[in-house]
Amino acid sequence: MMKKIKISNYTVGSDEPCLIIVDAGVNHNNVPERAFHLIKTAAKAGANIVKFQTYTADTITTKTAPRYWNKKLDTDAGGTQYDTFKRLDQLPAETYHKMIQLCRKEGVIFCSTPFDIKSAEFLENLGVELFKISSSDITYYQLIKKIAETQKPIILSTGTASFKEIKEAMSIILKTGNDNIILQHCILSYPCDSENANLNKMKKLMDIFPQFPIGYSDHTIGNIVPFAAVAMGAKTIEKHYTIDKKLPDSPDHSFSLNPYELGELVAGIRTIEKSFGTIVDGYYPAEKSAFLYARKSLVAIENIPKGTIIKRKMITCKRPGTGIYPKDLDKVIGKKTKIDIKSDTTITWDMIC
């Protein structure tokens, strides 16, 4: 049975609404007011969690590590990861307190992904309600253990990981006594072509870890792939989010959702969830008219006087389906009419004996 995981006022698990996470990342571009605007607009669009990223360039990468994302996403040419991260790690620490307070006011959950132990400690001291572990850190056992020991719910993304690596990371968390884990399938490609989304791997994770909610962290353009993931059973959806796709510095802006697109994502997911319905043995309430009037019944071809023994030539099959079904034809042949039955009349059981 799939575990239900409580995060603030939300529950993630079987038969629960999909948790919609926006990854604002560092799309604040170090501007507190922009971070606040990201929170407000995401909340207005219907997101459940607004997630940022917490790191410093000096602790996340060497100065020479090459970029792994599409070079067109950066505003400089030929730079390193350090060059990108150094432009985006200057959000004042005191801003985080205001961000958490604003999230509470707006009715969304604040979250941030720490990329080192010091950042994880900083977020824990802030009183965050959950942690997100990046796909890139699925083999960073020391960080995983540090986060797991907080006993807070964990969203663990699985981009680039083998099933063996995912199981090992899960084991690190479970050994701390923390089993509040949500796995998120992810393809760590920025942006990701739809044909590379590999949602079948998400389905495989559901088979391997049926006791844990499985979601999807998406880097494709648009909402089609996330919609498909929800239809396939994803319990969380995460998308990058920005106010303006044309903003500089962060490589995430151009493939992130804007507020209008986020609204479409939320509305689409909720519509998909409504379409799941419930299992009914028989016709669904919306089919009642069709059940009565689109099916066929046995109908008199000619006037059949009272007391007549019914013969096959006297009966045909026509709509509506409010009488005796054609499948019971053999039970009707040879019966006697209790009343006069006019031609083109639907035959019911109370007319024969």
pTM: 0.90
- Residue type (1 letter), 1: M
CB atoms within 10 A of CB 221: 16
Task: Write down the pLDDT at residue 86.
Answer: 94
Q: Is the CB of residue 129 less than 8 Å from the CB of residue 8?
A: yes
Report whether pLDDT(48) > 80: yes
Mean pLDDT taken over the chain: 96
116-155: pLDDT as tens digits = 999 999 999 999 999 999 999 999 999 999 999 999 999 9
User: How much of the chain, in percent, has pLDDT values that exceed 90?
Assistant: 92
- DSSP state string for 304-347: B-TTPBP-GGGEEEES--SS--GGGHHHHTT-BBSS-B-TTPBP
Task: Write down the pLDDT at residue 77.
Answer: 65
Over residues 214-225, the mean pLDDT reads 97
List the domains of the chain with CATH numbers. Answer: 5-276 (3.20.20.70), 285-351 (3.90.1210.10)
Question: How is residue 229 annotated by DSSP?
Answer: H
Over residues 221-228, the mean pLDDT reads 97
User: How much of the chain, in percent, has pLDDT values that exceed 70?
Assistant: 99
Over residues 306-330, the mean pLDDT reads 98
Over residues 199-216, the mean pLDDT reads 98
335-350: pLDDT as tens digits = 999 999 999 999 999 9
Residue given tokens 């510095």 in the structure block: 249
Task: Write down the pLDDT at residue 255.
Answer: 87
